Amino acid sequence: MKRIVLISLLILLAVLATACAGNRNRDWYPRFEIIETTHNIGFVDKRFELTALVFRLAGSVDFNDADTPYQRRLNETFRDFRDHAIVDFARRLGFSQDAVFRFAVHLDKTEDGFVFVENTDFLLQQNGDFVRWTQDNAHDFLALLNDFYIETDFAAFFGENTSFYMETNRRFYAQVYHNVNKEWFARHGLNPENMRAVVSPSMSRMGYAAWVEGETAYDRFVYAMLPYAADFIGFHRFIVHEYAHALGNPIADVWYAQNDEFRHWATVSIDPVRNPGHAISFVMAGEYVTRAFEILYLVENHNANLAVELLQQMQFTFPYMAEVFAMVTNTEILNLRENVMEYVLGVPFEIDKTIHTLSIDEGDIRWRYVHLYDQLAVESFARAHFANVGLTSRTGEVIIIDIHGEPSLWIDISSGAGIEGRDARFRQYSAFPLFKPLDCFFPN
């Protein structure tokens, strides 16, 4: 099972890395106007860069990236401020990245320094006993942040890196952002004019969402934060996911409070080992609904295979993804657990009777080939199921595999060399759990 999980995670990473890939010239930039305000240069936001720097100096593991010359320059330029009062305050707060980003987007820059925007409801939102920003610690932190901004001369540093920010902006827009369909979100209540992407050159990992509440959801200002990358190809799904939080989290909060079954799903889905970032039940609830909207976007905008998308989530740590998707879309639940092969393959097939065996370090594995009726069906199957994420297969080879007593459907997405391969024991396979007893496929 460990090998299945490992390969599945590699496949998910491959999906993310190719989600918006194409044959376009990466040096071609669509027309993009760099918008400078008092707190940002294009997608690079001074408010977050400043706040993230404080937590970097405080030693937060979420902010200690040193992968790029820019990030190393941050460490070198501001190392003498590690004992500043706000840095000590940040150490005591111990907040994670999403709380820091949430604080930053609730700031505005005036001639007298940074001030809070009028509506700070989302910043100060509490979930039961889970308390982070309060009126007191937020205002104390803001006062120290203004001192830090002046004493470090951060404005000069930010200005000195304008050319780097501008190039980052152009690449991000050209490679991915101009393809994001923000109008789709309008159909679900958000205002595309109020949706902002933030690219943080001080970060190399993870992304987060935050918003400033308005009188209605349409008045909400939504921010999607993404880390810096040398190549933004493949970030499309990343951006959609963060924007979808502004749709999913408010709905999930209501369901979590009022729907016992939904709250149960969120609670029993927690897996702090495989998914440590969502180890709190109300956070898992928000992630469930957010991922449902993300899948809906991919299905409606990129012809993603709904069954494949749901199953990939179900085999991770979201076993009730089909049920939550049905709630979000007000549709019938796909009976995936009973009909995985029919939904995923989508073409006539036959399971070969021969059982093959291979010895690996952890023991023996068994598999049976699944034959699709003709080569044309095989090729069309591969294209239909994986073209939306940029994956193809020369053979569409399909197997049912038994590793440690758990049957899975594996689909070759590499060179078609078979499970043993020519240059490696395992080729790349996309794996789907079959949710049935082992003896249904491997009789004793």
Question: Could you tell me which residues are beta bridge partners of residue 196?
Answer: 223
Based on the domain organization, do 219 and 271 belong to the same domain?
no
Task: Copy the structure tokens of residue 158.
Answer: 């930010």
Based on the domain organization, do 192 and 81 belong to the same domain?
yes
| Phi, psi dihedrals of residue 79, rounded to the nearest 5° | -65, -25
- Average pLDDT for 300-305: 91
Going by pLDDT thresholds of 50, 70 and 90, the confidence category of residue 34 is very low
**How far, in Å, CA of 117 to CA of 114, rounded?**
9
Query: Which residues, at least 6 apart from 296, have a Cβ–Cβ distance to it below 8 Å?
Result: 325, 328, 329
Lowest mean pLDDT among 35-44, 204-213, 291-300: 35-44
Residue 4 scores a pLDDT above 60? no
pLDDT at 356: 85
Based on the domain organization, do 300 and 385 belong to the same domain?
no
**How far, in Å, CA of 163 to CA of 168, rounded?**
9
Examine residue 391 and state whether it is found in any structural domain, yes or no.
Answer: yes
- Average pLDDT for 399-427: 66
Select from 297, 329, 361 the last residue of a domain: 329
Residue 7 scores a pLDDT above 80? no
Q: How far, rounded to the nearest angstrom, does the alpha carbon of residue 172 sit from its chain's CA centroid?
A: 17
On whether the CB atoms of residues 419 and 368 are closer than 8 A, the answer is no
Residue 220 scores a pLDDT above 90? yes
Examine residue 334 and state whether it is found in any structural domain, yes or no.
Answer: no
**How far, in Å, CA of 424 to CA of 442, rounded?**
25
Select from 329, 350, 375 the last residue of a domain: 329
- Average pLDDT for 267-296: 95
Q: Which of 35-39, 301-305, 356-360, 371-375 has the highest mean pLDDT?
A: 301-305
On whether the CB atoms of residues 176 and 235 are closer than 8 A, the answer is yes
pLDDT at 428: 65
Residue 414 scores a pLDDT above 70? no
Residue 92 scores a pLDDT above 60? yes
Select from 277, 302, 329 the last residue of a domain: 329
> Which of 404, 393, 400, 402 has its CA nearest to residue 427?
393
- pLDDT > 90: percent of the chain: 60
Lowest mean pLDDT among 300-309, 384-393, 429-438: 384-393
Based on the domain organization, do 325 and 355 belong to the same domain?
no
On whether the CB atoms of residues 382 and 392 are closer than 8 A, the answer is yes
More confident call, 378 vs 278: 278
Based on the domain organization, do 320 and 209 belong to the same domain?
no
Write the pLDDT tens digit of every residue in 108-119.
998 889 999 999
More confident call, 344 vs 298: 298
pLDDT at 385: 56
Examine residue 281 and state whether it is found in any structural domain, yes or no.
Answer: yes
Residue 13 scores a pLDDT above 60? no
Examine residue 390 and state whether it is found in any structural domain, yes or no.
Answer: yes
Task: Label each residue of the chain as H, E or C.
Answer: CHHHHHHHHHHHHHHHHHCCCCCCCCCCCCCCCCCECCCEECCEEHHHHHHHHHHHHCCCHHHCCCCCHHHHHHHHHHHHHCCCHHHHHHHHHCCCHHHHHHHHHCEEEECCEEEECCCCCCCCCCECCECCCCHHHHHHHHHHHHHHHHHCCHHHHHHHCHHHHHHHHHHHHHHCHHHCCHHHHHCCCCCHHHEEEEEECCCCCCCEEEEECCCCHHHCEEEEEEECCCCCCCCHHHHHHHHHHHHHHHHHHHHHHHCHHHHHHHHHCCCCCCCHHHCCHHHHHHHHHHHHHHHHHHHHHHCCCHHHHHHHHHCCCCCCHHHHHHHHHCCCCCCCCCCHHHHHHCCCEEECCCCEEEEECCEEEEEEEEEECCHHHHHHHHHHHHHHHCCCCCCCCEEEEEECCEEEEEEECCCCCCCCCCCCCCCCEEEEECCCCHHHCCCC
Residue 51 scores a pLDDT above 50? yes
Based on the domain organization, do 68 and 200 belong to the same domain?
yes
Examine residue 385 and state whether it is found in any structural domain, yes or no.
Answer: yes
Based on the domain organization, do 98 and 153 belong to the same domain?
yes
Based on the domain organization, do 299 and 166 belong to the same domain?
no
Going by pLDDT thresholds of 50, 70 and 90, the confidence category of residue 281 is very high
Number of domains in the chain: 3
pLDDT at 282: 94
Going by pLDDT thresholds of 50, 70 and 90, the confidence category of residue 384 is low
With b meaning 16 or more CB within 10 Å and e meaning fewer, what string describes 159-180?
eebeebbbebbbbbbbbbbebb
Task: Copy the structure tokens of residue 305.
Answer: 């295979």
Domain encompassing residue 407: 342-440
**How far, in Å, CA of 6 to CA of 29, rounded?**
37
Based on the domain organization, do 180 and 307 belong to the same domain?
no
Cβ-based neighbour number of residue 365 at 10 Å: 18
With b meaning 16 or more CB within 10 Å and e meaning fewer, what string describes 85-117?
ebbebbeebebbbbbbbbbbbbbbbeeeebeee
Based on the domain organization, do 285 and 208 belong to the same domain?
no
**How far, in Å, CA of 209 to CA of 244, rounded?**
9
- By the 10 Å C-beta count (0-12 exposed, 13-18 middle, 19+ buried), 362 is classed as exposed
Task: Copy the structure tokens of residue 344.
Answer: 């995923």
Examine residue 7 and state whether it is found in any structural domain, yes or no.
Answer: no
- Average pLDDT for 2-18: 39
pLDDT at 6: 41
Residue 364 scores a pLDDT above 90? no
Name the average pLDDT for the chain. 84
Examine residue 270 and state whether it is found in any structural domain, yes or no.
Answer: yes
Residue 89 scores a pLDDT above 50? yes
Based on the domain organization, do 361 and 317 belong to the same domain?
no
Examine residue 2 and state whether it is found in any structural domain, yes or no.
Answer: no
- By the 10 Å C-beta count (0-12 exposed, 13-18 middle, 19+ buried), 27 is classed as exposed
Write the pLDDT tens digit of every residue in 240-258.
999 999 999 999 999 999 9
Based on the domain organization, do 188 and 242 belong to the same domain?
no
Write the pLDDT tens digit of every residue in 157-196.
999 999 999 999 999 999 999 999 999 999 999 999 999 9
